Amino acid sequence: MARLQLEGLSKRYNEFYAARDIHLDVAEGEMLVLLGPSGCGKTTTLRMIAGFVEPSEGVIRIGGEDVTWHPPWKRSTGLVFQNYALFPHLTVARNLAFGLEMRRVEKSEIDRRVHDALAMVRLDHLADRLPRQLSGGQQQRVALARALVVRPDVLLLDEPLSNLDAKLREEVRIEIRALQQRLGITTVMVTHDQEEALSMADRLVVMKEGEVRQIGSQQELYERPVDRFVASFVGRSSFLRGRLADGILRTEGGLEVRCSDGPNGPAAVAIRPERVTVAREAPSAENVFPGEVEHVSYLGGSIDVRVRLSPKDVVVAQMPNVEGGWLPQAGDRVHAGWSASAKAFADTETEEGTAQVS
């Protein structure tokens, strides 16, 4: 267990930065999740921590010690690989014993610790199986136990759930998180799945194009995203685009939307679907616009309603599925309303197209 610090960490391939100036400080026992689309640098960052990628700049500290130039086998990190990377020629027990043998732990001690680690992931009855004789979920638990049995300072999880089917994923998510908290082990997890990230993390790091965009709790990221990318990647948003002046966004379609203040100029307002009210009569809200229902998706627990407000502007509303409630139909004339606290962001060209909610 130890604190993990990354100070100005970069990885450059010629002119291309796979990761750029990453600063992270993971407290002892904290679970930090790196979240971002593929190619955002999250895996590169994880592999630099494990020692498989040499940083171009910056310092990595584990428990205060500078390990930047230590080879992988001299760092106390336990990495769970995306494909588990279990040794196929060794039994489950021998897979777990491997790391302990490398540390020259005594034979009887190895047996005891392997047994305990297997019991921890409820696989003690499968100790003598080969990896190929296990299901995907079991292999995943063996990989986790193998990483933990050596008691590493830092646990690293590289998309640990991506090879499991959806139903199992939810279960394992809870299991890993519970185990991590029980052991109090400093953990860095990498994922592109926001639900996974939100449900497991103490703190999240949103990355894009090799850079950290925002670090914060689930609520901070959702309620106060720093830019348009974070607003679109964490949770869902509809974006209305236009020019911002003094807290009012004039859209290309001619709407005047009241929103939180932002830099004057080209801007986009992010509107969370569940904060939009759709009704036949105009609701009382700071922003109310008439529109026409374009599409209705009945999702069971909620209903997504896509409302066209002008030839250029569309918002999505997520309506709760209330018993006996009104169900809009495509073509209905309705009003959509939301508060003036919706966030406005400078609208940069590079992020065009990533934003719109489907």
Applying CB under 8 A, the residues found at the interface with other proteins are 50-52, 71-73, 77-79, 81, 83, 85-89, 98-99, 102-103, 146-147, 150
- Measured from the CB of residue 102, what is the shortest distance to other proteins in angstroms? 3
- Measured from the CB of residue 76, what is the shortest distance to other proteins in angstroms? 9
Q: Which is nearer to other proteins, 86 or 255 (CB)?
A: 86
SS3 category, 312: coil
> 157 Cβ partners below 8 Å, 6+ apart?
79, 80, 176, 187, 188, 189, 190
- Measured from the CB of residue 130, what is the shortest distance to other proteins in angstroms? 13
Q: Which amino acid is residue 274, in one-letter code? A: E
SS3 category, 18: strand
Scored b (16 or more CB within 10 A) or e, 289-300 reads: bebebeebeeee
- Measured from the CB of residue 355, what is the shortest distance to other proteins in angstroms? 35
d(CA 271, CA 342): 6
Q: Which is nearer to other proteins, 41 or 51 (CB)?
A: 51
First-to-last C-alpha distance (Å) of the chain:
43
Q: Which is nearer to other proteins, 17 or 98 (CB)?
A: 98
d(CA 223, CA 343): 9
Q: Which is nearer to other proteins, 99 or 337 (CB)?
A: 99
- Measured from the CB of residue 42, what is the shortest distance to other proteins in angstroms? 17
> Which stretches within 190-283 are classed as H helix?
194-200, 218-223, 228-233
- Do 261 and 303 form a contact (C-beta atoms < 8 A)? no
- Do 239 and 267 form a contact (C-beta atoms < 8 A)? no
- Measured from the CB of residue 82, what is the shortest distance to other proteins in angstroms? 8
> Tokens for 201?
């993390």
- Measured from the CB of residue 72, what is the shortest distance to other proteins in angstroms? 4
Q: Which is nearer to other proteins, 45 or 237 (CB)?
A: 45
- Measured from the CB of residue 353, what is the shortest distance to other proteins in angstroms? 34
- For residue 342, what are the CA distances in angstroms to 209, 239, 315, 345? 26, 10, 13, 10
Provide the pairing of β-strand 238-245 with 265-271.
Answer: antiparallel
Q: Which is nearer to other proteins, 52 or 298 (CB)?
A: 52
Q: Which is nearer to other proteins, 52 or 69 (CB)?
A: 52
Q: Which is nearer to other proteins, 115 or 312 (CB)?
A: 115
